[in-house]
Amino acid sequence: MKDRANPRNRTGFGSLVSARNQRTTQVSQDAMDADGSGLGLFTKKDTLTTRSKRLLTTALRADPTYVERTRPDGTRVLNEVNTFKIDNINATQSDFSRLKGTEWLTDNIMSMFLRVSVQDAVARTFCYTSHFFSCALSETGNNVMYDHSRVKKWSDYIDEGLFNLDQLFIPINVDNGTHWIFIRVQFESKSIELYDSHGSVNPERQRYLWAMRRYLYDEKYKEVALDDRPDFDVWKYTWTTQDKSRDSPKQENTFDCGTFVMISIYLIARGV
């Protein structure tokens, strides 16, 4: 996959533009019905009204705003001003404008979409950002290390508490930053699922299923003394893990993975 990195070094995601060799994409009625928020996720461009097209074009083509700053060494630099902000998530006009063509999306655009259209729109649902696993896991040579201490405060931002959720979603950056997958946790059924729009099961992805189950254990008993906790090797069988990539909607190119992550989470969160 060709890496067209953002010059601001933000993570790239798949484009919203279809592949050159377009195929007819079948969208189920359930998926159409789930889009009840007025987003028009499956609206074809040529069906938009003139006014909608004009508003969209104006928003996407707006010029970024810069502010000059002086570094400690006296040199001056231009920094782009954030145009959009949702809690602690910021995005610039340049980030937003990447939606208009084949540019890859940035991680903050994904985080904003999931915050507004999933976390804030579906009851008892929460979305961690794509930085969760980059904090929880580290690699040294061929060894993958999990460290709960680096993510133990993430659940503090869930008002109802982690284990009072119905579902948790986490996008994951893999393959040296060139591909995106995601995990879904269902708390009632105690299941952890992984989805990859490549449509195939990759054994290397098992690390994320294992780490997620270990994270849930550490969260469940983080206030309990180590000697009083149940044995993880016994407890882990109370949760199931499954790579459901073969059931995932499949991308037909090498750059739409980010879009598939966002739309798949949007639909799965609504029961589709």
Q: Residue ranges of the chain with pLDDT lower than 70?
A: 1-26, 36-38, 101-102
Residue 149 to residue 186: CA distance in whole angstroms? 23
Residue 211 to residue 30: CA distance in whole angstroms? 32
How many Å is the maximal CA-CA distance in the chain? 67
Residue 37 has what pLDDT? 59
Alpha helices in the chain (DSSP H): 29-34, 50-61, 93-97, 107-114, 132-136, 206-220, 232-235, 257-268
Instruction: Encode pLDDT of 84-121 as tens digits.
Output: 888 888 888 988 887 776 677 778 888 999 999 999 99
Residue 4 has what pLDDT? 33
Instruction: Encode pLDDT of 254-264 as tens digits.
Output: 777 888 899 89
Residue 38 has what pLDDT? 65
Residue 135 to residue 133: CA distance in whole angstroms? 5
Residue 26 has what pLDDT? 66
Residue 10 has what pLDDT? 41
Give 156's contacts (C-beta < 8 A, 6+ positions apart). none
CA neighbours closer than 13 Å in the CB half-sphere of residue 217: 21
Q: Which structure tokens are listed for 79? A: 């920094």
